[in-house]
Structure 1
Amino acid sequence: MSTPGDSLDPLPDGAMDTDYTVGQDNIEGQVGPFDYDIHDPVFLVSSLTAVAFILLTLIFPTTAGEVFKAIVGFATSTLDWYFMIVVDFFILFSVALIFSPYGRIRLGGKAARPEYNYLSWFSMLFAAGIGIGLLFFGVLEPVYHMAVSSPLDTLSPFAADGTINEDAIERARAMGLAGTYLHWGIHGWAVYVVMALALGIFTYNKGLPFSIRSAFFPILGDRVWGWWGHVIDILAVFSTLFGLATSLGLGAQQANAGLNFIFGLEISTTTQVIVIILVTAAALISVWRGLDGGVKVLSEINMVMALLFFLFVLLVGPTLAALDGFWTGLVTYVREFIPLSTPFGRTDDSYRQGWTAFYWAWWVSWAPFVGMFIARVSRGRTVREFVTCVLLIPSMTIFIWMGVFGGTAIDQLFANPDASLVKEYVIDNYSPELSLFGMLNELPFTAVTSTIAIILALIFFVTSSDSGSLVVDTITAGGKTDAPRPQRLFWVMIEGLIAIVLLIGGGLSALQAGVTATGIPFSIVMLVMCYTIVRALHSEPR
């Protein structure tokens, strides 16, 4: 393996004269009588700050709720333009890499070859970045954007007096799906491209630790092993923790809603907290069983169940309407891509500020988590192959899912608007966690499919918590991927506790606040990464 000094040329301030494999001793963990292997500053600061946040939110929930709402308001209404420009830049950066000479460079060097075939690799790319979102937003977003918050000021098909404007239906349906595709398509995956490519090139090609700080070696040199690097890794830890906590909180809300829909169980913060505790306990068992015996088994079960669930909705529901919704939304998404993506175009303020800005912060907060996973399974791919596939393959899969679920719900809504539970839960009495179950209510075997949806949500919950704890533990252990299991158990519990205190401290607005608060500084970190990626690629033989 080459040293950083061998492969990064040139570096600032005469850094090339030093072998920084010696500097890496500064981030090596330690093993003692209690079987731990940590990077002291990062682990200590991250864990103590997380515990302090949990305690303060529990002690002062009202004050915390007000602070959370203020953070969301500032980030989404004042910095919406910033988030949109940043993520647009990530797309331009990714596309530029595809068509540049750097596209021929392989992750791992010229002799490296992929460890996984295309089918396995594509499956892992898809599984890595979806989480609970497909279930929570698959019905909610297309219907909401069609009727309430139009992406491009499209006329709502529902007039103020409740009558339906037939002329507006097709345009509104197309824009509702296109607006959903914007939030789940290549914009978000471009965020993952930057993070995963940075980790891959600096770990596999430059011989640096599998840690976020390694991407900043071209700028910081030896200082990357000191407090500059500590701050970067700590930001990555909190970005991951709050991104995961948001997903876990949404998953608990949807599971609670499903239990209410089927069994009449009360929808309350208390119930959601109990759900989080039970699922966190399951995640602890999964972590203890290890990667192969825990999260791998659950992921395989989840993927099969998700596929069967999707096929049921497609084949039993209005199949042609669902497929037509997918295609119409895709065409509109491509046609309106620029006005949907830019902050100064015709985009509706409530759509841009209430949805897009939050989503871009959420994708950024998930970047260390998903980016690390993608990097770990992508060694041997060329930069061109890597970027193209990460941008397009998961996006198209998600478009099909969202198009079918959203198209089915919209068709149900207009077939019988007066009796539609989708209309009640999304338009009349906004209950986002119930939107999926409103759609399932119109299909056969409602109790069975709703139960499956709850199980899917809970398994997504467990696998996200398990995988997220691995990533956070890797960062706080100085880039090691084989740290002792008790450390991962600790981070599983911290993730669950943060999700609980966010729900107690303000519900959905608190979940959004956690994401946006960490997304702002970490987006700056990722912008700098784009520069260091180019520096690293430029030093590679082509």
Structure 2
Amino acid sequence: MPTSAKLMVAAFVVLTVGWPALANESFGAVRDVISESAGWFYSAVVSAALIMCIVLALGHWGSVRLGADDEKPEFGWLSWTAMLFAAGMGIGLVFWSIAEPLTHYAGNPLIASWGADPSTTVRARVAMEITFFHWGLMPWALYAVAGLIFAYFTYRKSEPLTVRSAMRPLIGDAVGRWPGKLADVVAIVATVFGLATSLGFGAAQINSGLNRLFGWHVSTEHKLLIVAVIAGVAVLSVSTGLKRGIRLLSLANVWLAALILLVVLMSAPLEPILRNVSLRLGDYLANLPWLTYETARDDTGWAASWTTFYWGWWISWTPFVGLFIARISRGRTVREFILGVLLVPTAITFVWLSIMGGAAISAARAGPAIIDVARNEPALSLYAMIDFLQSGPFATLIAFAATLLVAIFFVTSADSGTLVVTTMQCGGHAEPPVLERVQWGVGMGAVAGALLVAGGLGALQAMAVAAALPFAVVLVALGVGFTAALHEDATQQWKARRARKSRRAT
């Protein structure tokens, strides 16, 4: 049945490219229906994932090891966290870290309680609070729960590294028949479309960077060419294997991102950045339940365009990131896994958003033109901010570094995604055939290209929302089955410890 995923993806590409206007209209209609009827469900799923992480990390389940009781982790902390961050955020974070704070700074429904004309300080406060909300604990809670479930059943229960393996507590031996295979198909399709959304954003930003550097004008044709080239590089990378290709590119991403952050930190006014790190982050943590409730009940259409889009995007990424994290996390305890996946990348994300968002707001206060860029051409906003902070050859050098960062993130996302999809396609095989990797690498690039042809940014957002719904249902089922299996495992461990203590006492 997983082969049917290829047919679905191929049919989507053919129909979208053949009838782009109809496809774009259909994507928008599906997005609107899901946002109106299931936006609350997406909020409930991401909230439940965060609660589950907290309970597991603090409970007695935290000592359970993902593997044999005496097994050691395969990767060191630096390599592990670098791969986590590169796979889980990457392109999207670079794309939206300037555009989103500036768009919310210009106006949003949550600012209405501050009066008709709030101050710039208040607008900056609410803008960063919303941005932290969309990029903070929620997505990483989804990834942590999914990755933990997959790693647990693979390394603790000796199941293949597939989504259907985690369904065994619910459907038993049917995991090998159509019910289990259907779960894999849902996961593969969600992964392909979720990744295609990010690849489309990446192509748009690389095109904007090349326009800034070399005058290469922004067009759909150039974006398609970028998708083709980078997808080809990703296919070559994934064929070299996890420890060489993805690991080295992920480490390069971390150092390049750190360099860009350092330059921005040294160039931008410090006051907004320090406020973000302290007060804005505190606002986010204190208001997290309120933000969840307010965005879930919003009926103005704003939350559908932002929060529901993000929750759908993260959910559609969950099988990909979850399986990838599981693949690199053998030997870690449940507590170590959750704390590492939930807190370390989130902390890095907050630092990135605090610095880039603070610099963007400083640019908006100096001149509102950058707000129009963020709202109308979000892919250009990063380069507009760079030009505000620097000038001359140094600004060009930083713009080049930013474009290279997006390109490498593009490769690592496509690289990791291709490895995960082919692993699912091949029934959990740790080293899928190269031909399968090539086919899916090309397939993901084709989907991204089709979405760019159909409607650009709007089509990418609509597809992220739509692709998430089937897997959100699967994820709930996985959580229920995992809770039952983990409880049984932890209870057996507790009884064994008691028995050993009793024998020693006698």
Q: Which position in structure 2 is the counterpart of 1:471?
A: 420
For residues 34-77 of structure 1, what are the alpha-carbon distances to aligned partners after superposition, in whole Å with 9 as ceiling and x for unaligned? Answer: xxxxxxx31x2111221111111111112111111111111223
1:446 to 386, 395, 414: 395
Q: Which position in structure 1 is the counterpart of 2:28?
A: 69
- Say if 2:103 and 2:371, in contact at 8 Å, map to a contact too: no
Shift of 1:421: 4.1
Q: Structure 1: which amino acid aligns with 2:238?
A: V
Shift of 1:400: 0.8
Structure 1 stretches of 4+ moved >4 Å: 343-348
Distance across 2 between alignment mates of 1:208 and 1:345: 37
Q: Which position in structure 1 is the counterpart of 2:10?
A: 51
Q: Which position in structure 2 is the counterpart of 1:433?
A: 379
Q: Which position in structure 2 is the counterpart of 1:423?
A: 371
Shift of 1:177: 0.7
- Say if 1:284 and 1:492, in contact at 8 Å, map to a contact too: yes
Q: Which position in structure 1 is the counterpart of 2:123?
A: 172
Shift of 1:285: 2.5
- Residues 83 and 153 of structure 1, relative CA distance in 2, 3 Å threshold: farther
Q: Which position in structure 2 is the counterpart of 1:265?
A: 216
For residues 517-538 of structure 1, what are the alpha-carbon distances to aligned partners after superposition, in whole Å with 9 as ceiling and x for unaligned? Answer: 2200100100111111111112
Shift of 1:406: 0.5
- Residues 132 and 172 of structure 1, relative CA distance in 2, 3 Å threshold: same
**Residues 1:516 and 2:465 aligned together:** yes
- Say if 2:83 and 2:246, in contact at 8 Å, map to a contact too: no
- Amino-acid identity (%): 38
**Residues 1:399 and 2:332 aligned together:** no
Q: Secondary structure at the match of 1:342?
A: helix
Q: Secondary structure at the match of 1:480?
A: coil
Q: Which position in structure 1 is the counterpart of 2:316?
A: 365
Q: Which position in structure 2 is the counterpart of 1:186?
A: 137
Q: Structure 2: which amino acid aligns with 1:315?
A: M
Q: Structure 1: which amino acid aligns with 2:463?
A: G
When the two chains are superposed, the root-mean-square deviation of aligned CA atoms in Å is 1.9
2:105 to 141, 146, 167: 146
- Residues 344 and 121 of structure 1, relative CA distance in 2, 3 Å threshold: closer
1:158-307 to 2 correspondences below 5 Å = 168-307=119-258
- Residues 121 and 275 of structure 1, relative CA distance in 2, 3 Å threshold: closer
Q: Structure 1: which amino acid aligns with 2:72?
A: R
For residues 152-205 of structure 1, what are the alpha-carbon distances to aligned partners after superposition, in whole Å with 9 as ceiling and x for unaligned? Answer: 53559xx8xxxxx6x622121111111001111111111111211111110111
Shift of 1:384: 2.2
Q: How many residues align?
A: 488
Q: Which position in structure 1 is the counterpart of 2:77?
A: 118
TM-score by length of 2: 0.92
- Residues 281 and 330 of structure 1, relative CA distance in 2, 3 Å threshold: same
- Say if 1:295 and 1:466, in contact at 8 Å, map to a contact too: yes
For residues 64-95 of structure 1, what are the alpha-carbon distances to aligned partners after superposition, in whole Å with 9 as ceiling and x for unaligned? Answer: 11111111111223322121112111111221
Distance across 2 between alignment mates of 1:149 and 1:256: 29
Q: Structure 2: which amino acid aligns with 1:472?
A: V
Q: Which position in structure 1 is the counterpart of 2:502?
A: none
**Residues 1:98 and 2:48 aligned together:** no
Shift of 1:279: 1.3
For residues 449-498 of structure 1, what are the alpha-carbon distances to aligned partners after superposition, in whole Å with 9 as ceiling and x for unaligned? Answer: 11211111111111111111110000000000212212101110000000
For residues 287-328 of structure 1, what are the alpha-carbon distances to aligned partners after superposition, in whole Å with 9 as ceiling and x for unaligned? Answer: 343334433332222222111111111112223432322322
1:301-340 to 2 correspondences below 5 Å = 301-340=252-291
Q: Which position in structure 2 is the counterpart of 1:6?
A: none
**Residues 1:88 and 2:47 aligned together:** yes
Q: Structure 2: which amino acid aligns with 1:438?
A: A
Deviates more, 1:222-231 or 1:122-131: 122-131
Q: Secondary structure at the match of 2:119?
A: helix
1:356 to 307, 313, 332: 307
Q: Secondary structure at the match of 1:372?
A: helix
Deviates more, 1:106-115 or 1:221-230: 106-115
Q: Which position in structure 1 is the counterpart of 2:503?
A: none
Q: Structure 1: which amino acid aligns with 2:331?
A: G
1:410 to 361, 383, 387: 361
Distance across 2 between alignment mates of 1:119 and 1:154: 43
> Going by fraction, where is helix more abundant, 1 or 2?
2
- Residues 516 and 423 of structure 1, relative CA distance in 2, 3 Å threshold: closer
Structure 1, unaligned runs of 5 or more: 1-40, 160-164
Distance across 2 between alignment mates of 1:109 and 1:446: 51
- Say if 1:197 and 1:533, in contact at 8 Å, map to a contact too: no
- Say if 1:154 and 1:175, in contact at 8 Å, map to a contact too: no
TM-score by length of 1: 0.86
